[in-house]
């Protein structure tokens, strides 16, 4: 009986301490992240090479474990051969806005986070000289992300994780319209400063 009482008291104390730690965390934050991107399908008939991207987002925590995030991102994929020619790049840029759930993992300095958001992005096609040959115009897509938040102290955190972006756009190139489904996984590492 004493063991159950002691266990219950210890459990309540640890949950209370972790909730106090979460409440003491600052409500606002800014995160910079970047990493390698891997297309999950062909872009029309183009096999996309491994890409790279980065994102800058602001966070606002409105509840102990829930918040919103919003910002701007850029991602670039090369293609040796595609409907747009040889040695071209496909760049996706635009805005993201979404919800985030973050929860501590026990009494460690680690938390896990899950994000779901909407995109308002466009796809540009650049030739090997860096000239823009086509632009899809902005349109809506979506993003899912998750990872670990490692508290470094002094309101800094490291945020390794993975995100999935999906964007469907039409692009006119040389009088011909092409439907582009850009879906990719991004392995990312970010750093957050909370204030």
Domain ranges of the chain: 27-194
pLDDT tens digits along 6-63: 555 555 544 444 444 445 678 999 999 999 999 999 888 888 999 999 999 999 999 9
In whole angstroms, give the CA distance from residue 117 to residue 164.
10
Residue 66 · residue 98 · CB < 8 Å? no
What's the CATH class of domain 27-194?
A: mainly beta
Residue 171 · residue 178 · CB < 8 Å? yes
What is the structure's pLDDT at 19? 42
What is the reported pTM? 0.82
Query: Residue 126: beta bridge partners?
Result: 89, 132
């Amino acid at each position: 009986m004493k063991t159950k009482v002691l266990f219950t008291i210890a459990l309540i104390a640890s949950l209370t301490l972790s909730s106090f730690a979460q409440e003491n965390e600052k409500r606002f934050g800014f995160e910079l992240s970047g990493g390698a991107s891997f297309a999950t399908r062909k872009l029309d008939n183009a096999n996309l090479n491994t890409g790279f991207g980065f994102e800058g987002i602001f966070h606002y925590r409105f509840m102990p474990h829930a918040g919103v995030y919003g910002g701007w991102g850029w991602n670039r994929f090369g293609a040796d051969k595609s409907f747009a020619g040889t040695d071209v790049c496909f760049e996706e840029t635009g805005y993201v806005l979404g919800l985030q759930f973050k929860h501590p993992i026990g009494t460690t300095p680690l938390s896990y986070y899950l994000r779901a958001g909407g995109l308002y992005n466009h796809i540009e096609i650049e030739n090997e000289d860096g000239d823009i040959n086509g632009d899809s115009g902005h349109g809506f897509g979506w993003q899912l992300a998750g990872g670990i938040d490692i508290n470094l102290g002094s309101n800094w955190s490291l945020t390794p994780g993975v995100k999935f972006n999906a964007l469907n756009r039409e692009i006119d190139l040389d009088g011909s319209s092409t439907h582009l489904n850009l879906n990719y996984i991004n392995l990312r590492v970010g750093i957050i400063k909370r204030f």
